[in-house]
Amino acid sequence: MTHTSDNNSLVYLIGAGPGDPGLITVRGKECMGLADVVVYDYLANDDLLQYARPGAELIYAGKVGGHHNREQWQINELLVEKAREGRVVARLKGGDPFVFGRGGEECEALVAAGIPFEIVPGVTAAIGAAAYAGIPLTHRDFTTSVAFVTGHESPGKEASEIDWEGLSLGSGTVVFYMGMKNLPQITANLMAHGRPPETPVALVRWGTRPEQEVLAGTLSDIADKARRTGFKAPAVTVVGEVVTLREKLRWFDSRPLFGRGILVTRAADQAGEFSAILRRKGARVVECPTIAIAPPESWDELDAAVARLATFDWVVFTSYNAVRFFFARLAAQGKDSRALGPCRICVVGPKTAEALALHGLRPDLIPGDYKGEGVVEALRSVVSGARVLFPKGDRARDVIPAGLAALGAEVTAPVAYRNVTPEVIPAGVIADLEAKRIHCVTFTSSSTVENLAAILGENRLLRLLDGVAIASIGPITSRSCQELGLKVDVEPPAYTLEALTAELVRFFSP
- Verify whether residue 178 is a known catalytic residue: yes
- CA–CA dist 241, 42 (Å, integer): 32
- CA–CA dist 279, 211 (Å, integer): 12
Which residues are within 8 A (CB) of 107 and not within 5 positions of it... i.e. 6 or more apart? 13, 117, 119
- What 3-state DSSP class applies to 416? strand
The answer to whether the CB of 96 falls within 8 A of the CB of 121 is yes
Cβ count within 10 A of residue 79: 26
Burial class (CB in 10 A: 0-12, 13-18, 19+), 158: exposed
Strand pairing report for 173-177 and 469-472: unpaired
The answer to whether the CB of 398 falls within 8 A of the CB of 320 is no
Element (H, E) at 473: none
Query: Per the residue annotation, which of 20, 32, 36, 41 is the catalytic one?
Result: 41
DSSP letter string, 105-142? HHHHHHHHHT--EEEE----HHHHHHHHTT--S-BTTT
- CA–CA dist 14, 25 (Å, integer): 9
Burial class (CB in 10 A: 0-12, 13-18, 19+), 340: buried
- Between helix 320-332 and helix 300-307 the angle, nearest 10°, is 70
Q: Which amino acid is at 207?
A: G
The answer to whether the CB of 470 falls within 8 A of the CB of 249 is no
- Verify whether residue 63 is a known catalytic residue: yes
Tell me the three-class secondary structure of 224-293, residue by residue.
HHHHHHCCCCCEEEEECHHHHHHHHHCCCCCCCCCCCEEEECCCCCCHHHHHHHHHHCCCEEEECCCCEE
Query: Per the residue annotation, which of 36, 93, 96, 178 is the catalytic one?
Result: 178
Q: Which amino acid is at 376?
A: V
- CA–CA dist 99, 87 (Å, integer): 26
- Verify whether residue 41 is a known catalytic residue: yes
> Phi first, then psi: what are they for 304, rounded to 5°?
-65, -40
Positions marked active-site: 41, 63, 178
